[in-house]
Chain A
Amino acid sequence: MSDWVVKFIFIVVIFALSLFIAMYSTYAERKIAAFLQDRLGPNRAGPFGILQPLADGVKLFFKEEFIPRASDKWLFLMGPGLFICTALMTSAVIPFAPDLMWDGKLISMQATDLNVGILYIFGVVSLGVYGILIGGWASNNKFSLLGAIRAASQNISYELAMGLSIVALIMVTSSLSLKDIVSQQSGWHWNVIYQPLGFLIFIICAFAETNRAPFDLPECETELVGGYHTEYSSMKLGFYLFAEYINMFISSAVLATLYFGGYQFPFISSMDPGIAKTILGAAVMFGKIFFFIFFFMWVRWTLPRFRYDQLMNLGWKILIPLSVINILLTAGFILFKS
């Protein structure tokens, strides 16, 4: 098999896996919410309600396809497509497992090893807001527009702090390639130990960038009906809701890769590069990803939503100065050590 075929298969597998995980995240979210609120959660479709995501999908497909007459039709259709597209693009640079030794050749478990991988993630994340902005504006609805504008201002504000926390991380790793960053964190040398403050800032910004509670102001039901997707129905609404879960999966993967060593676990260096190592590494990586997905849900069902001014204050007056301090501290440590 040529390299291209292997790459193609790998990309299709990652694509299918992100969709599958996103699908079952919706189920997990409902079950976890039920657990935290002392309820049972979905339990009708299949054993333990395991077929619930399929039922939800079928329901969304059968809903009426509705396009408001006063909307900008093309942009209205483009919004959800763009949003899910940017959500799926990020996984291209994440190393999901150690290299696989197969027929004397090393096969990389990463779609592409870009030498500016972090910037790629950052770029795609910053594009995510277009889907919301275009969809919200094209709906020609006050609530949608307000939701879209909130989303834009929130994303811009938190991107700054996120970028600054990544700067401190890059100073520690001195590489922009995610493959290098993961291979540097061998065993227990995870970046979270060297960058605890940076990790805290990054995870808060990840919550804001994925529009998850406590930062879900763009779709805040109590004030904005449904936020930017008020006018959407059927599978277009499904795209918006689904992309949120894909985003959650991807940001969990990024968190695990940047700060929690990716597929690294103790004693990994004593293993030979073979199928066992790759499978174990992938299992560890997905374990970390699932933990972060659980953490996202845990926070959502525990903390109440921020008020808009609180959100802006947190972003501009607390997180950005903190991340600048973090950069200075990191620089000081590096200078002191050398």
Chain B
Amino acid sequence: MEKLFYILSGLTLISAIMVILSKHPIRSILFLVLTFFLISAHYILLNAQFLALVNIVVYAGAIMVLFLFVVMFLNLNRDIERFKSWLPLAAAVISGSCVFLVFLSAYKSSHQIQIENSGGYQIGLVENLGEVLYRDYLFPMEISSVLFLVAMIGVMLLSRKEKTETVKNLLP
């Protein structure tokens, strides 16, 4: 089991790094899909099958298809990456290393806590997860779903407004 974990982690890291190293955005997206699959494999290793499959359905099945969809529209001709100014690059490197430092210091200062697992190895199965979500944490769960609904309706409203404006602009 432990060996499997290390092999999977290695593969996950390699494919995650390939996301940034690939020259072509389509390939980056495909590596990202592979990364999501490997993360799902980690969930299965933890016996959390529901989470693993939801991860695949939502991220690999829906969100990444949308990404691919948009990139296909954008990059119809394969032009080679043009040189951009150094400023955003430097900003990205500095902020990225800052975040890395924060993680590192958080890891250094944290105590090694042994997390108590009262539910045994079946805690990740869908029945137990459902009971926890809909009995113990019902209120936060409902609040977050309302939040999602609001976000969804907001997106629809925004996109609709834009559309009518462009139509108005087109009219003489």
Contact = CB atoms under 8 A, between A and B. Distances in A.
Interface of A is mostly: helix
Interface of B: 24, 26-27, 30, 33, 49-50, 53-54, 56-57, 60-62, 65-66, 68-69, 72-73, 76, 125-127
22 contacts: A75-B27, A114-B49, A115-B49, A115-B126, A115-B127, A116-B53, A119-B50, A119-B54, A122-B57, A123-B56, A123-B60, A126-B62, A129-B65, A133-B65, A137-B68, A145-B72, A145-B76, A148-B72, A152-B65, A153-B69, A155-B65, A156-B62
Contacts of B54: 119
Contacts of B49: 114-116
Q: Kindly name the residue among A72, A123, A153, A176 whose own CB sees the greatest number of chain B CB atoms within 10 A.
A: A123
Contacts of B68: 130, 133, 137, 152
Interface of A: 72, 75, 114-116, 119-120, 122-123, 126-127, 129-130, 133-134, 137, 145, 148-149, 152-153, 155-156, 159, 176
Nearest to A129: B65
Contacts of A137: 26, 68, 72
A114 B54 CA distance: 14
B26 A75 contact: yes
Given A126-B62, A130-B33, A137-B26, A152 B53 contact: no
A130 B26 CA distance: 12
Given A119-B54, A130-B33, 17 more contacts: A72-B24, A72-B26, A115-B49, A115-B126, A116-B53, A119-B57, A126-B56, A126-B57, A126-B60, A130-B65, A133-B69, A137-B72, A152-B68, A155-B65, A156-B66, A156-B69, A159-B61
